[in-house]
Amino acid sequence: MPADWIRDLKEYKSRKEKKIVIERALIAYRLGSSSAETFLYNCYLAYNPLYQYDLTANEIIRTNGLDGRPNPWTKFWGVIEMLRTHSLNKQKLIMIVNLETAPLFNSVEWNTVCRPVMLKDLRCGINAKILNDVLGNSEWRIPE
């Protein structure tokens, strides 16, 4: 699960250790891991300064006790694209996020990955510079 990568990043304090986790994710992605690919893409969405979602923590719900959900990442990324392009009014987008999208995800994935992506901070001690130190020559490079 993508949340596992974030959990691993939270365990380490040093920049060097965090880079090692990101390197492992890049290697796993190249070996075909969908979990690593999802993690890297969500990092890209969270730290890309060209993507602005204009949401606050009070606008996005936290979920509790949701397990066994399908975790439909492509649906989540579609919602992210609607947020990025402001294709609907903000209240409608918030309703889609909270009432239609959040219940589809396990609480751990929603609270650890989805919600922080929309808030533009995965809260695991990384930033675009750390990501680019590892991902700079890959398709996951964060624009600066």
By C-alpha distance, which of 1, 107, 112, 95 is closest to 63? 107
Treating both helix axes as pointing N-terminal to C-terminal, what angle do 15-30 and 128-135 enclose, rounded to 10 degrees? 50
* pLDDT at position 83: 95
Helices (H) and strands (E) in the chain, counts: 8, 0
Decide if 12 contacts 18 (C-beta within 8 A).
yes
* pLDDT at position 31: 98
* pLDDT at position 123: 93
* pLDDT at position 133: 97
* pLDDT at position 9: 96
Positions in the chain short of pLDDT 70: none
Q: What is the pLDDT of residues 97-128, one digit of tens each?
A: 999 999 999 999 999 999 999 999 999 999 99
* pLDDT at position 144: 85
